[in-house]
Amino acid sequence: MKKFIGICLLLAACFSQLLAQQRPNILIIISDDHAFQTISAYGSKLTRTPAIDRIAAEGVRFDKAYVTNSICGPSRAVIITGKYSHKNGFKDNEHSVFDGSQNTFVKELQHAGYQTAWIGKWHLESKPEGFSFYRILPGQGQYFNPDFINMDGKTERKEGYVTNVIEDEAENWLDKRDTTQPFCLVIGHKATHRTWIPDTTDMGTLENCTYPIPATYFDTYDGRKAAQVQEMSIAKDMRLSYDLKLAVNDKPEAAIARMNPAQRAKYDAVYNPITADFKAKNLTGNPLAEWKYQRYMRDYLATAASLDRNINRTLAYLDEHRLSKNTIVIYLSDQGFYMGEHGWFDKRFMYEESFRTPMVMRYPGIIKPGTVSNAMVLNMDIAPTLLEAAGVRIPKDMQGASMLPLFRKSTEKGREVLYYHYYENGEHAVSPHFGIRTTRYKLIRFYKRVEAWELYDLKNDPQELHNLYEDKRYQSTVTQLKQQLMQEIKKYEDNDAAAIAVQ
């Protein structure tokens, strides 16, 4: 009898292991403010990103992936719920707290037997729910010697550079997981969020590089009222000490003050000479604006270097543990980012550099290596995509749509219209707005801070410099797009936008 029971237990364990192998593991890597313009898989000549490029080469590069609300906390809430901000309740970073009791794709996976974990930046102002394990940064987190909130609520400081530490913690969790169950792991990186402080390994490595000034760097924003009042200009709004690391204040910024002696010594060795050179130049006007741009680019790209390096570590871990063939890997940023286009840094606007996000996905056996998708998709579509892949029923109230049909049917084209709504009315003085993007046009309705409509013909004006809303030649287009806008507003039940759009 004991022998029979032993055989049954062994068979049960084998069946459980087989079931786990049949269902794909899921690994999502979310960076913060990583611009597609700085990823070589997207054609960037500014730097090389071999790890991200590898995911694209072994899967799909989405060339028209967008977000529903271009700001970090709301973007994460959209990703895990598969719902627009007005439905999941997390509209902005200033007033929102994520309601963890609501359903998420992670909870659905957990109910289906998945081990679930979130490690790194969370930024939803509440305790993560639906996770077997989490270790998260408080708020935005810190680049050096970051604190982490553990599941017992206690805060623990980890020595090192945040991108490396997050990867270490992710690998530690993977080492200890139950291998009889499939897993869903989200790695949330702080990089490349402001203030772009590189790892000591990367500090100073790009000081001899000079980057081309974007054609729109000295944009005057003619005909664009919201753009005229923003406060995200590299020339005007980037702070010398906080953003550009210049020792112009007696008291160091908090991010620098928390460095250990070895880290601080490397930092001072790199940035003190930069400060001295800056003071000697005594720049003003356009030369100062261009100097700030070069400083921004060097720090940003050096910060991004460790991001790609640690993504490579993640992929190597999967290879070494024979997990690559049965693990879906998605890399995306929480939104796009400005790299000097229109003279800006940051995000928020519905203009392409902010609205569009990099996203690459590897799914062996389902997605053909080297695929390039021009289908318009949203970060909201990730949740239903992963549920379908795992064989889990997609809840009816999820507003996203699975992307998997794009890789099964050659006739599947994805979305014809994208709906967007940005709410925050504070930092960087970007006016709240909503709108739609079609394959050719973009219609935007700004409100609160600025009351204005904007229309762009993306075919003839891809840089979005000419607002055509008042142009008589485009009035029939405006009428048609307004009708489409109202259809999207009704479809997604955005009642606040409905009231504003008809004004």
Task: Give the contacts of 338 (CB within 8 A, at least 6 positions apart).
Answer: 35, 232, 344, 345, 346, 347, 353, 354
**Is residue 455 included in any domain, yes or no?**
yes
pLDDT at 10 over 80: no
**Residue at token pair 């489409």:** 484
How do strand 327-333 and strand 25-31 relate by DSSP bridges? Answer: parallel
**Is residue 134 included in any domain, yes or no?**
yes
At 312 the pLDDT is 98
**Residues 314 and 332 placed together within one structural domain of the fold:** yes
DSSP element (H, E) containing 372: strand 371-373
**Residues 306 and 289 placed together within one structural domain of the fold:** no
**Is residue 268 included in any domain, yes or no?**
yes
Task: Give the contacts of 314 (CB within 8 A, at least 6 positions apart).
Answer: 27, 29, 51, 167, 170, 171, 187, 329
**Residues 31 and 112 placed together within one structural domain of the fold:** yes
**Residue at token pair 């009035």:** 475
- Looking at residue 183, the DSSP 8-state letter turns out to be E
Q: What is the mean pLDDT of the chain?
A: 94
**Is residue 38 included in any domain, yes or no?**
yes
**Is residue 207 included in any domain, yes or no?**
no
135-144 pLDDT, tens digit per residue, is 999 999 999 9
What are the counts of helices (DSSP H) followed by strands (DSSP E) for the chain? 15, 16
**Residues 174 and 309 placed together within one structural domain of the fold:** yes
Nearest to 435 by CA among 417, 416, 421, 452: 421
**Is residue 7 included in any domain, yes or no?**
no
Q: Which of 393, 415, 437 is the endpoint of a domain?
A: 415
**Is residue 213 included in any domain, yes or no?**
no
At 318 the pLDDT is 98
398-442 pLDDT, tens digit per residue, is 999 999 999 987 777 889 999 999 999 999 999 999 999 999 999
Q: What is the mean pLDDT of residues 223-231?
A: 97
- Residue 370, Cβ density class (10 Å: 0-12 exposed, 13-18 middle, ≥19 buried): exposed
pLDDT at 385 over 80: yes
- CA 312 to CA 276: how far, in whole Å? 36
What is the CATH classification number for the domain harbouring 485?
3.30.1120.10
**Is residue 187 included in any domain, yes or no?**
yes
pLDDT at 90 over 50: yes
**Residues 340 and 388 placed together within one structural domain of the fold:** yes
Alpha helices (H) along 225-284: 225-229, 234-237, 254-257, 261-281
Nearest to 71 by CA among 482, 326, 424: 424
Number of domains within the chain: 3
Higher pLDDT, 6 or 197: 197
Instruction: Reduce the DSSP state of residue 11 to 3 states and report it.
Output: helix
**Residues 354 and 289 placed together within one structural domain of the fold:** no
Q: Which of 296, 322, 342 is the endpoint of a domain?
A: 296
**Residues 247 and 314 placed together within one structural domain of the fold:** no
Tokens of 109: 């996976």
pLDDT at 501 over 90: no
Instruction: Reduce the DSSP state of residue 443 to 3 states and report it.
Output: strand
What is the CATH classification number for the domain harbouring 45?
3.40.720.10
**Residues 438 and 289 placed together within one structural domain of the fold:** no
Cα 21 to the center of its chain, rounded Å: 29
pLDDT at 249 over 80: no
**Residues 77 and 178 placed together within one structural domain of the fold:** yes
Across the strands, what pairs with 188?
A: 30, 120
Q: Which residues of 25-34 are buried (b: 16+ CB within 10 A; e: fewer)?
A: bbbbbbbbbb
218 φ, ψ (degrees, to nearest 5): -105, 40
**Residues 73 and 160 placed together within one structural domain of the fold:** yes
Across the strands, what pairs with 422?
A: 433
Q: 121 pLDDT band (50/70/90 cuts)?
A: very high
**Residues 47 and 116 placed together within one structural domain of the fold:** yes
Q: Which of 280, 296, 312 is the endpoint of a domain?
A: 296
Enclosing domain of residue 475: 420-501
**Residues 429 and 445 placed together within one structural domain of the fold:** yes
